[in-house]
Amino acid sequence: MLKTLKFLAIILALGLVLPAHGIIPVKNATAKDWNRLSFWYAPWGKSGVHKGIDIFAKLGTPVISSTSGLVIYTGHIEMGGNVVVVLGPKWRIYYYSHLDGIHIKTFDWATSGKGIGTVGDSGNAAGKPPHLHYSVMSLVPYPWKLSAQTQGWKKMFFMNPAESFG
Which of the residues 123 through 152 are near Zn ion (CB under 5 A)? 133
Shortest reach from residue 37's CB to Zn ion, in Å = 13
Which of the residues 45 through 74 are near Zn ion (CB under 5 A)? 54
- Chain residue whose CB lies nearest Zn ion: 133
- State which residue, 15 or 94, has the beta carbon closest to Zn ion: 94
Burial class (CB in 10 A: 0-12, 13-18, 19+), 66: buried
Asked whether 23 and 165 are in contact (CB, 8 A), the reply is: yes
Site residue total, Zn ion (CB under 5 A)? 2
Asked whether 159 and 137 are in contact (CB, 8 A), the reply is: yes
- Determine if 154 is a binding residue for Zn ion (CB under 5 A): no
Shortest reach from residue 145's CB to Zn ion, in Å = 20
- Specify the length of the chain in residues: 166
User: CA-CA distance, 87 to 69, in Å (whole number)?
Assistant: 5
- State which residue, 68 or 157, has the beta carbon closest to Zn ion: 157
User: CA-CA distance, 69 to 144, in Å (whole number)?
Assistant: 26
Shortest reach from residue 155's CB to Zn ion, in Å = 16
Q: Which helix (H) or strand (E) holds 94?
A: strand 92-102
Instruction: Estimate to the nearest angstrom the gap between the alpha carbon of 84 and the chain centroid.
Output: 8
Binding site for Zn ion (CB under 5 A): 54, 133
